[in-house]
Each structure stands twice: as C-alpha cells, then as structure tokens.
Structure 1
Amino acid sequence: MGLFGFGKKKHQSEEALEAAAEENEEAVDAAENVDEAQEVVALPESSAEYEGRGDERGPWDVEDENVPDYDEYLDMGSYYLPFLKGIELRVKANRATQQVLGTTITYGSSSVEIEAFAAPKTLGLWDDVRADLIEANKDAKEVEGVFGTELALPVTVKGGRKVLTRIVGVDGPRWMLRGIFSGKAATDPEGEEAKALNQFFADIVVERGDDPLAPRDLIPMHPPVAPAERKAAKAAAEEAEQKTEIPGKPKGPFDSDQQVEVKTTLSRGPMFSEVR
C-alpha cells in the first residue's frame, strides 16, 4: 500500500487526507532528527519549473542517456545514493517485516529523507501530491525552489518548537523522487549545507524496475549494498557461468580449422529405373 490515498473526488477523499497527514508526521520526524530547531522563514524564489532533468541534471533514471557512472554508488534497490563526505545514513524499515521504506541522510545540522514512488506512464505525480498536502496542512505554502515548485511546511516537534521543512518532488519516467529537507537545508537556501544536500539529491540515480506497481506505491527497496559487494557478486556470477559452459565447445564463429565433416551411410541409387 502506498503512502498516498485515492478517492473518486480529486484531493477530497478521506484516504488522500489521511495520507497527507502521514506526510506531515514524516516531516515532523525528519525535523526532529536535526540537532537544533530552526526558525520558520520563507524560502527565496528560484523557479516554478524544474527543467533539464535527465538531460542536464538529475535526479537521474538508470536509462537516461546522460546518467552518470553510478558504479561507486550505494545500492538501495529503488535508487542509488552518491558519495558525500561527512554524511550519516539511516535506513527506515518496518519493524514487523523489516521491509526497507526509505533513507535519511544527515549532513551537519541538516537532513533529507528520501523515498521513491511509482508514477503513471504519461503523467507526473508531484503536482497531485503537493495539492493533497496543501489541503491537509493549512500552514503549507508553495514556494519556488531549486527543484521547481516546492512546499514550505512548518511542523511542531517535541517541546512545542516550530521547525520549517522543505518538501521537494521530482518526476521521472514512471517514478517520483521525494525529499523532505530540514535544518539549515530548509531555512538557509544559500548556505553550504543546503547546497550540498541539494546536489546530493540531484545526483541520485533511480531504478524503477519492471514490476507492476500502482501509482503512489513505494518502489521496492532492500538493505544497502556497497559497491564492493556488487562487484564481488558480479564476479561470482561470471565465474559460475563459466563453470557451466560445455567442455570443448568452440567459442566464436567457425573458421577453416573447425569445419566438421558429416558422414552418412546413404549411397546414391540409379537415376532411372526400367519397367518391362
């Protein structure tokens, strides 16, 4: 089941409002992971549209022509995380099933929570998700940011403090990547932490896969697989494949030294028969 609900009336179903409430809770959780609460401030205007995804910048899809080399990225199943010195990674999982649900990257006093969702083939998902969140949270406000139209969402954390979060969504081919930024990455857009985490988010490579998924479902994830583990598994698979090859089987096309003569016991009979 996805984190977003559906109903017959767009943006008015109880399921959609409940799902948006869950989004609000996740924003609170993300904000509470930051060392110090920040004052609620408005983000500066940047751009209403995020252009160039897949051509000039990410987040990337594994099938994009200009996708960067992600051999050294951390494999999470639905996406690959780039390397950034000084970050801490926390994996969010279901306690009962141990199913991986997302990741949170902490950098300095900032963090970003990352999740990838399935989306329709022809339409993006972020516009609808954003509208649901606005309807469920009267304090949510649309702002223009580095990833196009974002949401500035003040949340109340433990102790009654108000903390500002940025909710970002980027649409790709049959997926949407969502990030909840908190700390200085949400309140100081020109600061070093915001720029570092923005670039980190843009460098992520998404792998939607071919599994049939309903729009707004989480794309399946797995525990982190390091580059060295992937390379070792690939080498082991190649070695196993070599062991299963037929002994003496010629490799490549036949040449003059590999021609095979086929003999038969059939002999040619007379070309005509005479009937008397």
Structure 2
Amino acid sequence: MGLFGFGKKKRHEEDDDELKYSQKTVEDDQQDEGDENQDEEQSAYPDEPSAVYEGRGEEYGPWDVNDEHVPDYDDYLDVGAYYLPFLRGIELRIKANRATQQVMGATITYGSSSLEIEAFAAPKTMGLWDDVRDDLLQANAKASEVEGVFGTELQLPVTVKSGKTVMTRIVGVDGPRWMLRGIFSGKAATEAGEERDALNHFFADIVVERGEEPLAPRDLIPMHPPVSPAQRKAANATASEEEQEELSIPDKPKGPFDSDQQVEVKTTLSRGPMFSEVR
C-alpha cells in the first residue's frame, strides 16, 4: 500500500513483499526520434499551476480506457487497475501481500525521485479527491494545500525509518468512478526540473481501467502482477486460436481448462523498452 492508505486496504509493511522491475531499452533511433517529436507537439498536463484541474479526458490525462481521446496503450504495462507507460531509466516496484500475493500498489523510481501510484473506486456522481484531501489535512497538521499542474495538491513532510524528514507532494485526479492518486518524493516533490517533469508526464499518461466490479468508494481498484505487451498479445492470440478451434470441433467440452492443460507463453518486445524482474 501507500504512505497514506485508508479503509479496509491497510496492511502491515511486514506482510508485504516488493518485486522490482528495471526498464531496459532496445536501440531504435528512428522510433525514438518520432516519439520525442510527438512529445514536443503535445503537452501531457497544463503548463501553469491552478486550483482546478480541467481538461482531463479531453486534452490531458490520466486517462480512462473509455475516454474518446485515450492514447494507444497497447505498449503499456498492464497491472490491472491501470496501464503504465514506458519511460527510459525507471525502476518499477510492485508491492504484494506476502501471504496472499495480492498486489497492493506500484512505485516508480526515476533518478532521485519516486512516484507511488494508487487507484481508488469513487462514487458515480461526484469526485473523491476533495474529500480525501480534506481528510489528509485534518489528520496531518503539517500538511498544506498549494496549486499545482494537476489542480490543488498537498505538500506533506513525512518522517522515514531513518528518522529523516522528507517532503512529499500528493496529487489526485478524479475520473469516471475512480480517483488516481500520486505521491511524489525526492526532487519531483521539492524542485522544478527534469525529474519532476518526467514523473508529471508519466502520471498524466497513465490509463485507468476501473472495471465493472462493485466497489465501495475509497476501495483500491484490484491489481495483478505486471503483464507485458508481448504477453498480452500472446494471450490474445492463444484465445483467438481456441475460439476458432471451438467453432471447428463439434461437441467440444466447455468450461475452464485444468491447470495441467494451461501453457504460459513468454516473449520479449521486438522494439522499445521492456520490463524484467530483478528481485
């Protein structure tokens, strides 16, 4: 979970394991140049701080899978509640419950900065971030509100295990029946520059998939271990083959396969970055 978990999703840290994924790249100069030019043409979030974040789902992210202008996320990493874009030089940490292996959250490390990402269920008719922000203000006397590029955000000093106090920057963006919260630390929380810009863009490029599962407001949207684009494509291809086979074979038994019949397919990306577990 995150630094500021609430509700039924709280867990003791000793019950959690972290899996680390480092991002590697495959040389493709032409594609990289095209991506950089595209980034220069489009801004992922407003240029100026504001009290209200406007344009989400139309001009800016984070995005919902059903937004009309959602970017192509076929090459994103799927962790269930949301799809994560690729950024050269990051490390992804997935926190899972040791006993159940349930995935509890994701943290991106970039340079000396980090971004903890959590997606929560929200009411159908109203946003959640205003209420969550008020709760954090009331619970933390040192917290303060400031205007940011994602609307009103919080600055909150946090004491870590070493006894050192570090400043965090907490942002929240409301979407359709969800709220995405980002907790920035390091340079991304305290000063303008390359690390803050990179993680701001990363947060704005996330695509959220709320799903249709009934969830109470403030419940974490369910997550699963990372699934790479290559693994998704292989699974989709396998599913298509099984559908074709079922159509062509009369009286084929229905129902799920036994575990002995299932085959795990692992491939690597043909271009671009990929994640590999380094534990």
Match of 1:184 in 2: 187
Q: Deviations 1:9-45 (Å, cap 9, x if unpaired)?
A: xxxxxx9xxx9xx79x9xxxxxxxxxxxxxxxxxxx8
Instruction: Return the alpha-carbon distance in structure 2 between the equivalents of residues 213 and 179 of structure 1.
Output: 20
- Structure 1 pair 246–159 and aligned structure 2 pair: CA distance change class (3 A): closer
Instruction: Return the alpha-carbon distance in structure 2 between the equivalents of residues 67 and 140 of structure 1.
Output: 33
Structure-1-length-normalised TM-score: 0.73
Q: Counterpart amino acid of 2:105?
A: G
Instruction: Return the alpha-carbon distance in structure 2 between the equivalents of residues 121 and 3 of structure 1.
Output: 22
Higher-strand-fraction structure? 2
Unaligned runs of 5+ in 1: 6-14, 26-44, 249-276
1:73-88 superposed matches below 5 A:
73-88=76-91
SS in 1 for 2:247: coil
Aligned length in residues: 212
Match of 1:29 in 2: none
Unaligned runs of 5+ in 2: 14-47, 251-279
Aligned Cα root-mean-square deviation (Å): 2.1
Match of 1:206 in 2: 208
Instruction: Return the alpha-carbon distance in structure 1 between the equivalents of residues 210 and 161 of structure 2.
Output: 36
SS in 2 for 1:51: coil
Q: Counterpart amino acid of 1:124?
A: G
Q: Deviations 1:133-176 (Å, cap 9, x if unpaired)?
A: 01110000001111100000011123332210001100000000
SS in 2 for 1:238: helix
- Structure 1 pair 53–242 and aligned structure 2 pair: CA distance change class (3 A): same
Match of 1:240 in 2: 242
Q: Deviations 1:96-120 (Å, cap 9, x if unpaired)?
A: 2110011000000000000100000
Task: Give % identity.
Answer: 76
Match of 1:231 in 2: 233
Q: Counterpart amino acid of 1:93?
A: A
Q: Report deviation, 1:246.
A: 4.0
Match of 1:57 in 2: 60
Conserved 8 A contact 1:118-1:215: yes
Match of 1:266 in 2: none
Q: Report deviation, 1:3.
A: 4.0
**1:100 matches 2:133:** no
Instruction: Return the alpha-carbon distance in structure 1 between the equivalents of residues 105 and 249 of structure 2.
Output: 46
